[in-house]
């Protein structure tokens, strides 16, 4: 069963005042992500990664093509139950603490006071922000803000995660923490779709990886096949298998 499915998606954005001045962001993108899979999308800046995730979140409407989550069209009622989304630029309220944000999330979800307490405690511990739970977000570093946003994403223990550059702005400890969270959700049976340009992190946790280039999905590979291919073809000891494959793929597309 596919959790994420998109077929022949096209998307262009209006770039000026005139309606016909448009820039193509996605061209004919199709892929499926099965239940319990971790699917990573990689690509250069502007390749179209965030646009795909926003289309799955129904924040952006494709010009053409079909998109579904759990076999339901994305904008339909119930299609977004149990999804945790981490945006590329999380916007938290600077004058509120992470605890207040999480309280808000629990109350919107209608949780009991007891459940609220438990969920907040777990979320804070998971992202290692318990000690600064009451500090206004404006005092947070970039990495702390990213971890705070992630706490909000996982607050309701979603079965599906959509993460846009989850390692962005994090130091090595923070990156490891995010990798551990993704791994833990994977082990629990969650399905995860995320994008990143930190290739070493992507290859550590993904089952399959899609390479985007100039709005097109130019390749989808499994992590296992990547390793075998690398052993037989690589002459570049300084590159990881994914770096090697990614650079070759993108260079071929450019030439």
Ligand X SMILES: Nc1ncnc2c1ncn2[C@@H]1O[C@H](COP(=O)(O)OP(=O)(O)O)[C@@H](O)[C@H]1O
Burial class (CB in 10 A: 0-12, 13-18, 19+), 212: buried
CB of 138 to ligand X, least distance (A): 26
List the structure tokens of 150: 């992630």
51 makes contact with Mg ion (CB under 5 A): no
CB of 202 to ligand X, least distance (A): 14
List the structure tokens of 54: 């926003």
Partner touching 62 among ligand X, Mg ion, none, CB below 5 to 8 Å by kind: none
User: Which single residue is written with the structure tokens 């998971």?
Assistant: 126
CB of 47 to ligand X, least distance (A): 4
Q: Which of 5, 50, 97, 219 binds Mg ion (CB under 5 A)?
A: 50
Binding site for ligand X (CB under 6 A): 13, 15, 23, 25, 43, 45-51
Q: Which is nearer to ligand X, 51 or 168 (CB)?
A: 51
Partner touching 23 among ligand X, Mg ion, none, CB below 5 to 8 Å by kind: ligand X
Question: Which residues in the chain belong to E strands, given as ranges?
Answer: 2-14, 22-34, 38-43, 64-69, 72-73, 83-86, 160-164, 191-195, 208-213, 216-222
Q: How wide is the angle at C-alpha 245 spanned by C-alphas 241 and 247, nearest 5°? A: 120
Check: CB of residue 57 under 8 Å from CB of residue 85: yes
Q: Which is nearer to Mg ion, 88 or 229 (CB)?
A: 88
Q: Which is nearer to ligand X, 25 or 111 (CB)?
A: 25
Check: CB of residue 199 under 8 Å from CB of residue 221: no
CB of 87 to ligand X, least distance (A): 11
Partner touching 47 among Mg ion, ligand X, none, CB below 5 to 8 Å by kind: ligand X
Q: Which is nearer to ligand X, 25 or 120 (CB)?
A: 25
Bridge partners for 191 per DSSP: 160
Q: Which is nearer to Mg ion, 50 or 97 (CB)?
A: 50
CB of 5 to ligand X, least distance (A): 19
Q: Which of residues 74-133 bind Mg ion (CB under 5 A)?
A: 88
């Amino acid at each position: 069963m596919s959790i994420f499915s998109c077929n022949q998606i096209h998307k262009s954005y209006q770039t000026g005042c005139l309606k016909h001045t448009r820039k193509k962001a996605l061209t004919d993108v199709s892929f499926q992500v099965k239940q319990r899979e971790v699917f990573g999308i990689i690509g250069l800046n502007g390749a179209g990664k965030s646009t795909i995730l926003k289309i799955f979140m129904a924040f952006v409407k494709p010009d053409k093509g079909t998109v579904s989550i759990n076999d339901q069209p994305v904008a339909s009622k119930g299609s977004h139950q149990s999804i945790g989304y981490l945006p590329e630029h999380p916007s938290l309220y600077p004058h509120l603490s992470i605890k207040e944000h999480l309280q808000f999330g629990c109350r919107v979800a209608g949780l009991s006071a007891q459940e609220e307490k438990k969920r907040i405690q777990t979320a804070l511990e998971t992202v290692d922000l318990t000690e600064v739970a009451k500090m206004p977000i404006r005092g947070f570093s970039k990495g702390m803000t990213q971890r705070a946003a992630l706490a909000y994403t996982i607050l309701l223990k979603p079965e599906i995660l959509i993460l846009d550059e989850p390692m962005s702005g994090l130091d090595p400890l923070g990156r490891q923490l995010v990798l551990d969270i993704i791994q833990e959700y994977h082990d629990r049976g969650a399905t995860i779709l995320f994008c990143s340009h930190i290739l070493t992190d992507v290859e550590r946790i993904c089952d399959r990886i899609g390479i985007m280039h100039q709005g097109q999905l130019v390749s989808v590979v499994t992590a296992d096949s990547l390793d075998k291919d690398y052993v037989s073809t690589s002459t570049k000891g300084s590159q990881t298998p994914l770096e090697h494959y990614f650079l070759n793929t993108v260079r071929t597309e450019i030439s």
